[in-house]
């Protein structure tokens, strides 16, 4: 009898961990019963296994608490197995990713030609706050790593965006030193920002790259989309065939409009991008863009969110959009083909930030995120 009681005492907590149905904003537990630590992440499907990569933040309540990039795997998008840190920060004080750096928004893609998994991420060097604004890249032969850090840096140094007129560069350079254009947020300043004053400022050293995502088009070409020019303007930059470098072809999008957290998908030949505004860790209204060509022009539409909390993206900020292929899994998302992965940030303890996965519905031909579908995925976990 004593033995049975003892066994029950050990088993009950284990069983309840898996029976729990976490709600939007609740804790999402992995196979060990711990809250999933994969923020600002992405999901790929490799040979029938979903791999969820994201920021691994230590439990200290500091923003400089990156431990690297975590990976969790799942066969059903519901039960997640912790595969550990697949790109750890380094002990080497000469490394760009030495402990104390900030690694954000990692995105992993598989390159069919090189058969390598390529990870891009936003990197801030140790001790520099958010001033470095670099992109980092790492590679691995397997989805579970360990990923090998390749390099980090700013983007496309010395290269002008597509369709930019050389003569404008000289003029904008002059504007940079004129006091009339040095006061932020004034109309004359905005005008010069739209024209590319900060792009020209950063031309020599390379363009700033913060919040980011990677998109692979139907023809296998990869694009790096990142918040640049002091988070004022997005850039979309083409990557080389091995996905490890930039080709030099890039465009500026939504000039001076302060977009962060870019997420993107393509449906029936149309590119859709959902971004956030720029309010630090606090949620704001999402923005929707549409284009027929990834290099633009991009058209800005209205907020894709509907219902309670729509003006704050339901308390979350986008991280990635992934496609669902199987009918069984589509059922978890109200039959949707695409899911908007978002983070509900808790800046006082980033590791404890929560997740929100929202099905993308098409209404009036446009992607829509509805408040009444916020718990579709979570409630299906209990079924
Ligand atoms: C908002 C970004 O989207 C996050 O990834 C992070 O960089 C915070 N800003 C930092 O304030």
* Residue pLDDT, tens place only, 112-162: 999 999 999 999 999 999 999 999 999 999 999 999 999 999 999 999 999
Half-sphere exposure of 2 (CA within 13 A, CB side): 0
How many residues does this entry show for the chain? 383
Choosing from 123, 210, 286 the residue with most ligand 1 atoms within 8 A of its CB, the one to mutate for a pocket test is 210
- pLDDT per position as a tens digit, 248-266: 999 999 999 999 999 999 9
Question: Residue 293: pLDDT above 50?
Answer: yes
Higher pLDDT: 328 or 341? It is 341
Question: Residue 277: pLDDT above 50?
Answer: yes
- β-pair partners for 123: 103, 134
- Residue of the CA atom closest to atom 1 of ligand 1: 280
How far apart are alpha carbons 294 and 297 in whole angstroms? 8
How far apart are alpha carbons 68 and 71 in whole angstroms? 10
- pLDDT per position as a tens digit, 206-250: 999 999 999 999 999 999 999 999 999 999 999 999 999 999 999
Asked if the structure places residue 218 within a domain, the reply is: yes
How much is the pLDDT for 61? Answer: 62
How much is the pLDDT for 14? Answer: 43
User: What's 80's domain CATH number?
Assistant: 2.115.10.20
Q: What burial class does residue 126 get, using C-beta atoms within 10 Å of its C-beta: 0-12 exposed, 13-18 middle, 19+ buried?
A: middle
Choosing from 55, 69, 104, 133 the residue with most ligand 1 atoms within 8 A of its CB, the one to mutate for a pocket test is 104
- How many domains does the chain fold into? 1
- For ligand 1, the distance from its centroid to the CA atom of residue 74, given in whole angstroms, is 27
Asked if the structure places residue 38 within a domain, the reply is: yes
Assigned token pair, 26: 């609740």
Asked if the structure places residue 194 within a domain, the reply is: no
Q: Which residues contact 177 (CB under 8 A, 6 or more apart)?
A: none
CA dist 33 → 109, 302, 341 (Å): 28, 39, 21
How much is the pLDDT for 18? Answer: 42
User: pLDDT confidence of 376, banded at 50, 70, 90?
Assistant: confident
- Residue of the CA atom closest to atom 3 of ligand 1: 261
Question: Residue 8: pLDDT above 70?
Answer: no
Half-sphere exposure of 176 (CA within 13 A, CB side): 15
How confident is the model over 167-193, as a mean pLDDT? 88
Query: Treating both helix axes as pointing N-terminal to C-terminal, what angle do 187-195 and 166-176 enclose, rounded to 10 degrees?
Result: 150
Q: Nearest 5°: phi and psi at 336?
A: -70, 155
Asked if the structure places residue 77 within a domain, the reply is: yes
Q: Are 34 and 27 in contact (CB under 8 A)?
A: no
Query: Cis ω on the peptide bond leading into residue 146 (within 30° of 0)?
Result: yes
- For ligand 1, the distance from its centroid to the CA atom of residue 364, given in whole angstroms, is 32
What residues are in contact with ligand 1 under a 6 Å CB criterion? 40, 104-105, 211, 260-261, 280-281, 317
Higher pLDDT: 50 or 19? It is 50
How confident is the model over 180-201, as a mean pLDDT? 92
Asked if the structure places residue 136 within a domain, the reply is: yes
- For ligand 1, the distance from its centroid to the CA atom of residue 352, given in whole angstroms, is 15
Question: Residue 24: pLDDT above 80?
Answer: no
Asked if the structure places residue 61 within a domain, the reply is: yes
Q: Are 227 and 234 in contact (CB under 8 A)?
A: yes
Containing structural domain, residue 341? 20-159+203-373
How much is the pLDDT for 23? Answer: 62
On whether the pTM is more than 0.85, the answer is: yes
How much is the pLDDT for 7? Answer: 52
How much is the pLDDT for 6? Answer: 53
Asked if the structure places residue 12 within a domain, the reply is: no
Asked if the structure places residue 164 within a domain, the reply is: no
How much is the pLDDT for 64? Answer: 72
How confident is the model over 180-205, as a mean pLDDT? 92
Which of 9-13, 166-170, 281-285, 325-329 is least confident?
A: 9-13
């Amino acid at each position: 009898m004593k033995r049975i009681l003892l066994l029950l005492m050990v088993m009950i907590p284990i069983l309840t961990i898996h029976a729990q149905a976490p709600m939007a904003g609740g804790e999402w537990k992995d196979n060990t019963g711990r809250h999933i630590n994969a923020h600002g992440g992405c999901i790929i499907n490799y040979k029938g296994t979903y791999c969820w990569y994201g920021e691994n933040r230590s439990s200290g309540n500091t923003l400089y608490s990156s431990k690297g990039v975590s990976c969790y795997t799942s066969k059903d998008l519901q039960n997640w197995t912790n595969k550990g840190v697949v790109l750890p920060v380094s002990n080497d004080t000469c490394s760009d990713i030495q402990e104390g750096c900030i690694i954000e928004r990692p995105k992993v893609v598989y390159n069919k030609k090189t058969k390598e998994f390529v990870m891009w991420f936003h990197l801030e060097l140790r001790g520099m706050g958010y001033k470095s604004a670099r992109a980092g890249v790492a590679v691995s032969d397997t989805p579970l790593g360990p990923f090998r850090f390749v390099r980090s840096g700013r983007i496309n140094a010395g290269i002008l965006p597509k369709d930019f007129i050389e003569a404008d560069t000289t003029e904008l350079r002059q504007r940079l030193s004129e006091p009339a254009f040095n006061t932020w947020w004034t109309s004359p300043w905005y005008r010069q920002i739209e024209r590319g004053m900060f792009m020209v400022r950063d031309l020599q050293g390379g363009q700033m790259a913060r919040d980011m995502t990677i998109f692979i088009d139907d023809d296998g070409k990869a694009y790096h989309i990142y918040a640049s020019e002091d988070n004022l303007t997005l850039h979309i930059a083409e990557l080389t065939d091995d996905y490890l470098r930039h080709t030099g072809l890039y465009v500026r999008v939504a000039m001076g409009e302060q977009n962060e957290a870019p997420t993107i998908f393509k449906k029936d030949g149309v590119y859709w991008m959902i971004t956030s505004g720029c309010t630090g860790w606090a949620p704001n209204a999402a923005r929707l863009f549409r284009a027929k060509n990834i290099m633009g022009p991009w058209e800005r539409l209205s907020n894709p969110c509907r219902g309670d909390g729509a003006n704050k993206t339901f308390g979350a900020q986008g991280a990635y959009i992934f496609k669902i292929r199987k009918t069984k899994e589509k059922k978890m998302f109200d039959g949707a083909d695409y899911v908007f992965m978002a983070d509900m940030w808790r800046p006082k303890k980033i590791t404890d930030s929560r997740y929100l996965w929202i099905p993308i519905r098409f209404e009036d031909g446009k992607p829509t995120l509805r408040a009444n579908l916020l718990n579709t995925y979570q409630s299906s976990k209990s079924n």
